[in-house]
Amino acid sequence: MKPGPLASRSIDRIPPNTDERVFYDKYVANRTPVIIQGFLDDTEFKAYKWKDMAYLKNVAGDAQVMVEPLAEASNQYGTGVTRTLMPFKQFLELLESEAGPYPYLTTQYENVNDDNQVASMFPPPTLALRRDFPVKPRLMGRLVLDQVNLWIGRSSEGSSSGLHHDFHDNLYCLLQGRKRFVLYPPSLTKHLYPHGDVDTVHPNGLISYQHLPVRADGLTHVDAAEDHVAIAKAKLDAANRRRAKSDLLLVLKKEYKNARKAWLTAGGVSSEMHGSQGSHDDADAILKDLEMMERRSKVDREGKVIGSKIDAGSFYSPADDAWGGVSTNDDLPSLSPDPSSFSRIQTAYLHAHLNLPTTATAPSAVTVAYPNLDKAGQPYVIDLHEGEMLYLPASWWHEVTSTSVSAPHMAFNYWFHPPDALGEKDFDEPYRDKLLWHHLRKKARKLASSAMRERARESGANRVDHSFKKRRLKRRATAMG
């Protein structure tokens, strides 16, 4: 049985000046999508300038970007096709040409070195455009930024992303064009045929897969444990610099040892810690020193130095995470090399099932029925218009049909780490692992500052180069005259 009238399901529409605490309590903490009827009210938000292609070419034209071709078989994007590297300016010129089909600018995961944390947060071309948007939008409160992205394409008839979900809370700003979203909550995952084998759906909705389990805040256990090692090491280094008493040093070294043990248990590889042999040698020295100190100190069974008020075991353990499994195993074969977070439901089938207009075509080689899709019931189908934003909590399934009007369709989005301290509805502390997230929030601020400095250096170099070229041309003109 097909769903009933699509108009019967809708989501709230709110003004952009909504109080951030109200926004958090009503939508973020309740994991509920909402449309914001306007752009961010932060004074730094100037992304609307990007609708001017000349401006984009001038500011970010030299950035190297990966672009995705339209898959001929399905007439959609996001289908595991090979992407092409080119200058951003060249990509924009392709969109301005008369002949299609046109490539699509999407996430730049293939175009960023994982060791370059600034580029991971601000992938090309967003680093070059860094002055035009706030890193910490007022509306999003205390959520920690993971990444920003720019999405640009051209399709007068509408092109589809395919049904998929993200791993972060998404604030999606539609700068130009139209977008139709088909939305399903994470609770319906078992009816939506993901490519990956689901390990669990966390209480905050985040979907974790068996091949790479993640915590409810989106971090892998090994990454979280490694950050706790870094935190413990920083505390120990600070105590050594101020020549703290030996009992405190003993406690901090035990804390470091415990954090390192948790990291190794989570799957950390000692020789790869922080990417340097020096860090490994440093850890060995700390642990050897700790062993000597323990011989000289009387330590009680609870891991506390007698006379000290500091708990040596005060670090977050991966075992603290609540896990509950859901099964999505079935006999349907995988139809394409899409990521785990993409659905195997063909877009053409989904649109036909929902009685939606479509330009997607079903692959002729394989036609599969999806009997469980009926059990998912009726999705939210919403139209997002130019100048509006959509807040979408992590792991909400969405299929997006993008349509150009008189110019390429364009969107800018923020991905934030999903909050997992939802029972408390604590605006100021949205993450359970408070120590780690204080550390990561500070780290994110440093990365944002580094991005601004890097952008300023690039701008200065470009100005110097431009000035040099002008002087050189002037000398040539004088010589010729």
> Could you read off the pLDDT of 180-193 as tens digits, one per residue?
999 999 999 999 99
> What is the pLDDT, as a whole number, of residue 450?
84
Average pLDDT (115-137) is 91
> Tell me: the pLDDT tens digits for 292-316?
554 444 444 343 333 333 333 333 3
Contacts of 35 (CB under 8 A, 6+ apart): 11, 12, 13, 14, 382, 384, 388, 389, 390, 391
> What is the pLDDT, as a whole number, of residue 474?
54
Q: How would you classify the pairing of strands 34-36 and 13-14?
A: parallel
> What is the pLDDT, as a whole number, of residue 373?
95
pLDDT confidence band for 441 (50 / 70 / 90):
very high
List the one residue out of 251, 221, 252, 258 whose CA is nearest residue 234: 252
Taking a C-beta distance cutoff of 8 angstroms, is the pair 205, 187 a contact? yes
> What is the pLDDT, as a whole number, of residue 72?
61
pLDDT confidence band for 475 (50 / 70 / 90):
low
Judge whether residue 365 has pLDDT over 90. Answer: no
Centre a 10 Å sphere on the Cβ of residue 178 and count the other Cβ atoms it contains.
Answer: 16
Judge whether residue 318 has pLDDT over 50. Answer: no
Query: ω into residue 124 within 30 of 0, thus cis?
Result: no
Give the burial string for 44-75 (b: 16+ CB within 10 Å, else e).
ebebeebeebeebbebbbebebbbbebbeebb
Taking all residues of the chain, what is their mean pLDDT, rounded to a whole number? Answer: 81
Angle at the Cα of 358 from the Cα atoms of 353 and 360, rounded to 5 degrees: 95
Judge whether residue 160 has pLDDT over 60. Answer: yes
Q: How many residues can be counted in the chain?
A: 481
Judge whether residue 235 has pLDDT over 70. Answer: yes
Judge whether residue 417 has pLDDT over 70. Answer: yes
> What is the pLDDT, as a whole number, of residue 321?
38
Judge whether residue 259 has pLDDT over 70. Answer: yes
pTM surpassing 0.85? no
> What is the pLDDT, as a whole number, of residue 460?
59
> What is the pLDDT, as a whole number, of residue 270?
61
More confident residue, 383 or 323: 383
Judge whether residue 134 has pLDDT over 90. Answer: yes
Helix (H, G, I), strand (E, B) or coil at 151: strand
Please state, in angstroms and as integers, the Cα–Cα distance from residue 282 to each residue in 18, 285, 286, 287, 477, following that order. 49, 5, 6, 9, 62
Average pLDDT (465-478) is 51
More confident residue, 190 or 368: 190
> What is the pLDDT, as a whole number, of residue 111?
58
pLDDT confidence band for 268 (50 / 70 / 90):
confident
Average pLDDT (416-423) is 94
> Tell me: the pLDDT tens digits for 1-47?
444 444 447 899 999 999 999 999 999 999 999 999 999 999 999 99
Least confident of 100-109, 211-220, 388-397: 100-109
The pair of structure tokens assigned to 425 is 């509805």
More confident residue, 288 or 51: 51
pLDDT confidence band for 171 (50 / 70 / 90):
very high
